Amino acid sequence: MSDLESLARTPRLLVALDFDGTLSPLVDEPMSARMIPAARRALDALAALPATDVALVSGRSLADLRVISEHTDDSLFHLAGSHGAETWHPGAREMPDDAADRADRALLDELVPEAERIVADIEGAWVEPKAFGLGLHTRLAQADAAQTAQHDIDALMAERAPDWRRRTGRDILEFAFRHEGKDQAVAALRERLGATGVLFAGDDVTDEDALRALGDDDLGVHVGAGDSAASVSVEDPEALAALLDRLAGLRAER
């Protein structure tokens, strides 16, 4: 894969980034997550450069991603929510209305309250309705309680929605009737924008698909500890912000 200096010289650069744990520290209350100031400054600098695009690629629903990223109608950042099943691009006047299949939507409406009932008595576990599915959060649960909640939700989904895509991440178990992944989201952005080089950064299991799909002219960055397909690892969002700031400086000088 490319190094940072080579990537800075690519004719059309796409900087695509996960949000939680990558641009923002992981928090117990998901909707309280916010991008650290240093990352915001670096991304604003990159987005202002010629032939350079910035995208946030998240498992969050598009509406929630817009809230936590403090995204406005005049933003230069592209958004890919729900692992790429929902998108927004600069210049769009309205958030897109991605109509889901009626049968899947009706099933989701049934499954969310069923899942909530299953975990109602499990302390620290809660269910998040998502645009195309649901997520079980166990960050605040004890290990045995988290295991019980995951087992019971797995059983529910195996019985009621066996064809839905199952994903695991840090203290989350997620199911969706749309099967898009972050690798597809980045590929779609690359094609739309004509990117000749991509930097993708993420911290969790769901980011590995995108990291593995990068090419020789791209750069993958893993945030945090653990094994990864990325060629570069940084300690935390602050370290990633410093790397992005350096990329912005190098690209401005090219």
Q: No. of H helices and E strands in the chain?
A: 8, 11
Q: How far is CA 110 from CA 164, 241, 247, in A?
A: 14, 41, 47
Rounded-to-integer distance, Cα 235 and Cα 46, Å: 21
**For helices 37-47 and 237-253, angle between their N-to-C axes, nearest 10 degrees:** 20
Nearest to 185 by CA among 112, 84, 65, 46: 84
Q: From CA 60, how far away is CA 169, in angstroms rounded?
A: 12
What gap in Å lies between CA 32 and CA 9, rounded to an integer? 36
**SS3 label, residue 212:** helix
Cβ contact 168:135 at 8 Å: no
Residue 18 falls in the annotated catalytic set: yes
The dihedral over CA atoms of 12, 17, 23, 27, expressed in degrees to the nearest 10, equals: 170
Catalytic-labelled residue, pool 3, 18, 101, 171: 18
The sheet carrying 86-88 orders its strands as 86-88, 77-81, 52-57, 13-17, 197-202, 219-223, 232-234
Residues annotated as part of the active site: 18
